[in-house]
């Protein structure tokens, strides 16, 4: 048996997203069926829909920032019950046996995590379809709890943008008094500001858009530097303990590395084109250039609980599914503060 599921899908790199229907699997013994209430729109949805990273599988139903309600549970499910409010993020399975999986770092599964969409299932046959749809069937171990006091529409982007910025801040031990710079103030950057501030850091936003100063300060940043100012880099040399670089547009890493103190770390979570990093930018102050990708299931739950404790949620613009193509075009122009979220009631 299978479950007919309305959705929006893209059928080629040059097509718009259009209404489509497909079959979800019936919940197996360890699965839950989730009615999707909200799904965030990630910039990676656009990249994959348009095959900008290569290897896209069509038809494609994007969406990996999913919040919804459990409507059915399999016979062996112990973690969830019907009516629970839950989330599903960037992946829905992994090998569960490698060193990374056993350490709770399923996102770094040595055989590759199974993406929530645009991916093949562990059986090598099933195609994964994402959250631009009315429901999803997921193994109970790849589901997280949404705390009661986090608004559901504003919780959806936490499943990708939230954990993508929270994970490196926690991994690199950001603590009260640290001087932290956030490069970029978009869907990722605005969450980076909120988390770094909540962890007690002195937070500075670095942006090439001077008009974002007021917004950065409203989000909780302590300072703002317009990076297109002639003296921006020289004036802020060796200022920061940690730089979280959220920008996916091409930019010069070496200049930003010069802003780090002795033993400083710059961590990439954006995905620009390859660039050359000079050895002198690293060795002179024993600096490190690192990267980070989302978080495991346990850390994602930790992040959500931290959001509930600190009153943190994403800043969103809720849209109807019928407006998704316009949202993609606006996203390309950075015309959103700071994340689109689809209300899936508009698909039902």
Q: Average pLDDT of 114-122?
A: 97
Delineate the domains of the chain, giving CATH numbers in brackets. Answer: 2-160+315-347 (3.90.180.10), 162-291 (3.40.50.720)
Q: What number is the average pLDDT over the span 72-79?
A: 98
The mean per-residue pLDDT over the stretch 92-118 comes to 98
- Mark out the alpha helices in the chain (DSSP H runs): 43-49, 99-102, 152-155, 161-171, 187-198, 213-219, 232-235, 253-257, 279-283, 297-310, 324-332
Residue 115 has what pLDDT? 98
- 4 pLDDT band, cuts 50/70/90, is very high
pLDDT one-digit tens code per residue, 43-69: 999 999 999 999 999 999 999 999 999
Closest listed residue to residue 206, CA positions, set 151, 259, 154: 259
pLDDT in tens, 176-202: 999 999 999 999 999 999 999 999 999
Asked whether the beta carbons of 194 and 164 are under 8 A apart, the reply is: no
Percentage, residues of the chain above pLDDT 90: 96
Q: What is the pLDDT of residue 46?
A: 96
* pLDDT over 90 at 11, yes or no: yes
pLDDT confidence tier of residue 272, bands split at 50, 70 and 90: confident
Q: What is the pLDDT of residue 274?
A: 83
Residue 1 has pLDDT above 80, yes or no: no
In contact, 41 and 341? CB cutoff 8 Å: yes
Confidence bin at 273 (pLDDT 50/70/90): confident
Alpha-carbon distances of 317 from 61, 141, 157, 320, 335, rounded to whole Å:
21, 30, 11, 10, 11
**Alpha-carbon gap, residue 327 to 335, rounded angstroms:** 9
Contact (CB, 8 A) for 207 and 229:
no
User: How big is the chain, counted in residues?
Assistant: 348
β-pair type (144-145, 316-320): unpaired
Looking at residue 157, its pLDDT comes to: 98
pLDDT of 168 over the 90 cut: yes
The whole-angstrom separation of Cα 238 and Cα 84 is: 48
Determine contact, residues 186/334, Cβ cutoff 8 Å. yes
The pLDDT of residue 66: 98
| Residues 92-113, mean pLDDT to the nearest whole number | 98
pLDDT for 275: 87
Q: Is the pLDDT of residue 336 over 80?
A: yes
Residue 231 has pLDDT above 80, yes or no: yes
Element (H, E) at 339: strand 339-343
């Amino acid at each position: 048996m299978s479950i007919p599921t309305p959705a929006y899908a893209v059928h080629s790199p040059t097509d718009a997203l259009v209404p489509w229907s497909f079959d979800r699997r019936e919940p197996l013994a360890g699965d839950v069926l989730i009615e999707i209430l909200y799904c965030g729109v990630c910039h990676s949805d656009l990249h994959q829909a348009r095959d900008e990273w290569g290897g896209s599988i069509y038809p494609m139903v994007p969406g990996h920032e999913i919040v919804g309600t459990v409507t059915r549970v399999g016979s062996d499910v112990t973690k969830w019950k019907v009516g629970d409010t839950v989330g599903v993020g960037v992946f829905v399975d992994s090998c569960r046996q490698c060193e990374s999986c056993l350490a709770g770092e399923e996102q770094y599964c040595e055989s590759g995590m199974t993406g929530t969409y645009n991916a093949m299932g562990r059986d090598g046959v099933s195609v994964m379809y994402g959250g631009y749809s009315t429901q999803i069937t997921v193994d109970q171990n790849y589901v997280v709890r949404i705390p009661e006091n986090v608004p559901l529409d504003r919780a959806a982007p936490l499943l990708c943008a939230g954990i993508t910025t929270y994970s490196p801040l926690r991994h690199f031990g950001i603590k009260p008094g640290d001087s932290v710079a956030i490069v970029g103030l978009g869907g990722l950057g605005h969450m980076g500001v909120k988390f770094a501030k909540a962890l007690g850091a002195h937070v500075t936003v670095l942006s090439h858009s001077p008009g974002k100063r007021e917004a950065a300060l409203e989000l909780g940043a302590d300072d703002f530097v317009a990076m297109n100012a002639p003296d921006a880099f020289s004036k802020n040399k060796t200022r920061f303990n940690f730089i979280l670089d959220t920008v996916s547009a091409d930019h010069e890493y070496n200049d930003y590395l010069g802003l780090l103190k002795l033993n400083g770390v710059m961590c990439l979570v954006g995905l620009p084109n390859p660039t050359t990093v000079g050895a002198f930018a690293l060795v002179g102050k024993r600096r490190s250039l690192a990267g980070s990708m989302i978080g495991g299931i346990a850390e994602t739950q930790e992040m959500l609980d931290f959001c509930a404790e600190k009153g943190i949620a994403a800043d969103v613009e809720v849209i109807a599914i019928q407006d998704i193509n316009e949202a993609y075009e606006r996203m390309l122009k950075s015309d959103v503060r700071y994340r689109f979220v689809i209300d899936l009631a508009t698909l039902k």
